[in-house]
Structure 1
Amino acid sequence: MDVLHAPAIPREVVARFEAIVGARHCISDPEQLRTYECDGLTSFRARPGLVVLPGTTAEVVEIVKLARAEGLPIVPRGSGTGLSGGALPVPNGILLGLSRMKRILEIDFDNQWMRVEPGVINLDISKRLAPQGYYYAPDPSSQQVCTIGGNVAENSGGAHCLKYGFTTNHVLGAKVILADGSLVELGGPVLDAPGYDLRGALVGSEGTLCVVVEVVLRILRKPEATRTFLATFPTTGEAGNAVSLIIAAGIVPAAIEMMDRLAIVAIKAATGVDWPDVGAALLMDVDGPTAEVEHTAAEATRLAREAGALEIRVPRDAAERDGMWRGRKSAFAAMGRISPNYVVQDGVIPRSEIAPVLREIERLSASSGLRIANVFHAGDGNLHPLVLYDAAVPGQEKLAEETAGEILKICVRTGGSITGEHGVGADKAPYMVEMFSEDDLETMNMVRCAFDPEVRMNPGKVFPTPRLCGDKPGKYVPHETEISGLAGRG
């Protein structure tokens, strides 16, 4: 049976899922299912057949076994903040919501790790650790609502990933449920577990391999000191040059973020920060031992001025610093102040290509007639271009999506990637062929099939053409999902 086109789930099967988690935690009403039709990428929508909300690992095991027995696909979901359609449901399939599993199970401060369930909110971890002087480093902009399970699925990053790395650098191990209901442990609270690095395969697999039910995370001591500054520039060219100078000098900031004029306008409208009307701004954190931080911050400030900074602001206190970072982290939501709709992309380029790529994006904006705001992790070249449009204008949504796709192609041409932290999901699957050959994709698929031979875990994601584990490369034939628009090929 084609799991992407499963028939409606019979009432007697729904009752069996209700017997596992209780009727309260099974959602089958068509109106209530609308809540789960998409994740943060709202232009992709599909209605699941059933939403099941387990509260324990044992319940997840039984749900997965029952879904397999009934031939139903499973799409795991956290808070639904993903921006690539990774949690897009399969029509009439099972959407497995893990938000009820939100216990912090164990904390080992001596060895700097903790064990949590997948529904724990990212920021809640640092709040829990703060009194003991510890924190969890990955900090996506959605950290107030996104879950650790979702972070593991997407290999989420955040503003401070330049120095501290992405989720994969902070996951020591995980307990997962395979597609047949088996409970297995990958890695654990040790620095170098023997055997294959299956934990590495898990992080960033976007729910296509298994269901995560526990995660062992690395925790860090809070740095002794942090220094922050906001530098403004006439254009993104000078700002990009400042980034290059700072990194070339051997300085590794905890974070260095860039915003262009359009992004600054939106942020000011949404948050009321008193930033000036300039071509670009850099927001930078340096942290570590106090003596080192003072020296490094002074040198970074000097280099920013050398690159043409108009003004450099240093926050007076922690409240003003928090306000600066609140402005940056509100950037995506702030776009609603200047545009009714937008498409956000997530490409990566070499740092040396920031200025020329932004010029190409500017040309795309002019040729398409659509405004494009740029907010990104400048230190590691992770762009977040926001293509603004009005869905009420016929053809503008399609034009915006095509323009966003052209930006991804530019990223690949300059030696970058189609995604830095948002994942491939359904949105970027057609662009995988821009980066990978058919042999590359078949090799990736072999890994997937080792975990999930029947391809029931989040089918239709990541790969540009729906593939089954018995498929062989050959003459390309469009799949039904591609014809219907659910999936695509570059």
Structure 2
Amino acid sequence: MKTHSAHFNPERQRQVLQALLKVLPANCVLHELEDTKPYECDGLAAYTELPMIVVLPEDEQQILATLGVCRELAVPIVPRGAGTGLSGGAMPTSDGIVLSTAKLKRIVQLDKNARTAIVQPGVRNLAISEAAAPLGLYYAPDPSSQIACTIGGNVSENSGGVHCLKYGLTLHNVLRVRIATIDGEMIELGSAALDAPGLDLMSVFIGSEGMLGIVTEVTVKLVPKPECAQVIMASFDDVITACNAVSDIIKAGIIPAGLEMMDQRSVHMVEPFVKAGYDLNAAAILLCESDGSETEVRDEIERMSRVLQQAGATAIAVSNSEAERLRFWSGRKNAFPAAGRISPDYYCMDGTIPRKKLAQVLQGIADLEIKHQLRCANVFHAGDGNLHPLILFDTNTPGELDRAEQFGTDILAMCVDVGGTITGEHGVGIEKINAMCLQFTSEENDAFFAVKRAFDPAGLLNPTKTIPTLHRCAEFGREHVHHGQQKFPDLPRF
């Protein structure tokens, strides 16, 4: 655990607190240690920082009032949803406030004809589908934390889920975002129509991790609930064979609703926890789902089964009921909490690679286990190459957290080396800010900062996150070689 004690100036806290209480109800402002302590981190619990003050506005006007105080007094602001993020994007700064949108949890409108929902940022991901169910509709993105995570956080991180191969990430399922800017304006990006005039700033905003504005309202797409869905559990006696089967399915022209992979360690980790019916003898399993009409599903399941058999599957099981389908998926969705059964701590990485490189990267991760003397359970969105290695360690063992972090950095470097990227859906936050230096040049980082300055000239929104400074990159890897050339040749080398 890398914790920091509160070191804000008490006089500064009183100044900001008094200003906030002039524009907000007292029940919306937290400043005592026992109240602010729960906000010291998000899902990346290895890093903590006590915020100076926590604000929980109840409406748009209170958000604008809060931003006005922070702008006037130059107070940093860290936006926060449900705190389920895994990259430290909602970790506070000790001299700033946390602005939580948890109280804005109203579903404003459901439109069956337009197949849309207008929701406030504090609405839970799963709650949208629950509300739309009577209309025969649902919201497709389904991150594993969907029972708790909120749509505002999903927008900030561009979250996905096990069905993102067919239905896309948050970006592909949002039509419009309403935002409070640091300047005190309300702006709308996107529209209810197919396209919006001007630059596509909504694509810039989604995934920006709270650095450009505060989400106050989101219009999402709803899709019809499929008539039928079935999932195949295919077993393989070799991880490499399972990886190749993923490419074979896509090569056959099949786009499953979900295509997930778990190695043997993750299967053994999950099965006692949820009793999903997984094959404990398999070196790896694939979960391949088809949804649509009964005819479509029957045909696609048959086609996928043939491909999997030809690819070397040792066993194939097909769900025979909705309960069995949900049970198959329950293991995959509970992989993270199940890690606690076999390890005191785990570090969940998130990188994306080309599908054809899956086998190579998994072999590389196995080599890194030996190098760092730590175990790793692999569970991931195989269909789109989004890896989620779970590095298992014990914080109480001296040096293990540092080794786990270096293990993770090595995985991300490998993702970049094979033509991938350092994140898929968890964001950068503080966790991967150094790894940004592995992937992007100083010119690219300058472009990112230019966008940041356009929205937030004073740099008050979620500072010190996501975009590394040139100096930080120099400190991180002075000898790093990028495409055969030194990354920052103009900087001094030590």
Superposed pair shares fold, TM > 0.5: yes
Q: CA separation in 1, counterparts of 2:137 and 2:315?
A: 33
Q: Shift of the alpha carbon at 1:31?
A: 2.6
Q: How does 1:28-177 map to 2 (within 5 A)?
A: 28-177=31-180
Q: 1:306 aligns with which of 294, 307, 310?
A: 310
Q: CA separation in 2, counterparts of 1:43 and 1:218?
A: 35
Query: Is residue 339 of structure 1 aligned with residue 340 of structure 2?
Result: no
Q: CA separation in 2, counterparts of 1:71 and 1:246?
A: 54
Query: Is residue 281 of structure 1 aligned with residue 276 of structure 2?
Result: no
Q: CA separation in 2, counterparts of 1:474 and 1:415?
A: 25
Q: Shift of the alpha carbon at 1:304?
A: 0.9
Q: How does 1:322-471 map to 2 (within 5 A)?
A: 322-465=326-469
Shifted more, 145-154 versus 172-181: the winner is 172-181
* C-alpha distance 453-296 of structure 1, shift in aligned 2 (>3 A): same
Matched residue, 1:468: none
> Letter of the aligned partner of 2:78 in structure 1?
V
The root-mean-square deviation of aligned C-alpha atoms, in Å, is 1.7
The superposition leaves residues 188-234 of structure 1 with CA deviations (integer Å, 9 ceiling, x where unpaired) of: 21110111111111100000000010011111111232121111111
Report the secondary structure of 2:42's partner residue. Answer: coil
Shifted more, 230-239 versus 255-264: the winner is 230-239
Report the secondary structure of 2:325's partner residue. Answer: helix
* TM-score in terms of structure 1 length: 0.93
* C-alpha distance 31-290 of structure 1, shift in aligned 2 (>3 A): same
Report the secondary structure of 2:435's partner residue. Answer: helix
Work out the number of aligned pairs and report it: 469
Q: 2:320 aligns with which of 312, 316, 320?
A: 316
Matched residue, 2:217: 214
Matched residue, 2:186: 183
Report the secondary structure of 2:290's partner residue. Answer: strand
**Contact 2:279 2:285 (C-alpha < 8 Å) held by counterparts:** no
Report the secondary structure of 2:386's partner residue. Answer: coil
Q: Percent identity?
A: 45
**Contact 1:113 1:218 (C-alpha < 8 Å) held by counterparts:** yes
Q: 2:237 aligns with which of 234, 237, 243?
A: 234
Query: Is residue 250 of structure 1 aligned with residue 245 of structure 2?
Result: no
* C-alpha distance 432-36 of structure 1, shift in aligned 2 (>3 A): same
Q: Shift of the alpha carbon at 1:12?
A: 4.4
* C-alpha distance 178-37 of structure 1, shift in aligned 2 (>3 A): same
Q: 1:260 aligns with which of 248, 259, 263?
A: 263
Q: CA separation in 1, counterparts of 2:273 and 2:427?
A: 27
**Contact 2:8 2:52 (C-alpha < 8 Å) held by counterparts:** no
Q: Shift of the alpha carbon at 1:368?
A: 1.4
Matched residue, 1:487: none
**Contact 2:345 2:392 (C-alpha < 8 Å) held by counterparts:** yes
Shifted more, 10-19 versus 315-324: the winner is 10-19
Q: Shift of the alpha carbon at 1:25?
A: 2.1
Q: CA separation in 1, counterparts of 2:453 and 2:176?
A: 21
Report the secondary structure of 1:430's partner residue. Answer: coil
Q: CA separation in 1, counterparts of 2:190 and 2:276?
A: 44
The superposition leaves residues 261-314 of structure 1 with CA deviations (integer Å, 9 ceiling, x where unpaired) of: 110011012212332222111111111233222111101011111112121111
Q: Shift of the alpha carbon at 1:476?
A: 8.0
* C-alpha distance 455-358 of structure 1, shift in aligned 2 (>3 A): same
The superposition leaves residues 103-137 of structure 1 with CA deviations (integer Å, 9 ceiling, x where unpaired) of: 01112221121211000000000011111110101
* C-alpha distance 279-92 of structure 1, shift in aligned 2 (>3 A): same
> Letter of the aligned partner of 1:28 in structure 2?
H
Q: CA separation in 2, counterparts of 1:83 and 1:182?
A: 30
Shifted more, 13-22 versus 365-374: the winner is 13-22
Matched residue, 1:24: 27
**Contact 1:6 1:72 (C-alpha < 8 Å) held by counterparts:** no
* C-alpha distance 426-357 of structure 1, shift in aligned 2 (>3 A): same
Q: CA separation in 2, counterparts of 1:475 and 1:352?
A: 33
Report the secondary structure of 2:352's partner residue. Answer: coil
The superposition leaves residues 142-196 of structure 1 with CA deviations (integer Å, 9 ceiling, x where unpaired) of: 0000000000000001111101111001111111111121111112211101111
Q: CA separation in 1, counterparts of 2:134 and 2:158?
A: 27
**Contact 1:47 1:92 (C-alpha < 8 Å) held by counterparts:** no
Q: CA separation in 2, counterparts of 1:13 and 1:91?
A: 13
**Contact 1:52 1:97 (C-alpha < 8 Å) held by counterparts:** yes
> Letter of the aligned partner of 1:104 in structure 2?
I
> Letter of the aligned partner of 2:291 in structure 1?
D
Matched residue, 2:16: 13
> Letter of the aligned partner of 1:348 in structure 2?
T
Report the secondary structure of 1:20's partner residue. Answer: coil
**Contact 1:21 1:53 (C-alpha < 8 Å) held by counterparts:** no
Report the secondary structure of 2:156's partner residue. Answer: helix
> Letter of the aligned partner of 1:386 in structure 2?
L
Q: Shift of the alpha carbon at 1:36?
A: 0.6
- Structure 2 runs not aligned, ≥5 long: 1-6, 477-494
Shifted more, 223-232 versus 92-101: the winner is 223-232
Q: CA separation in 2, counterparts of 1:343 and 1:354?
A: 20
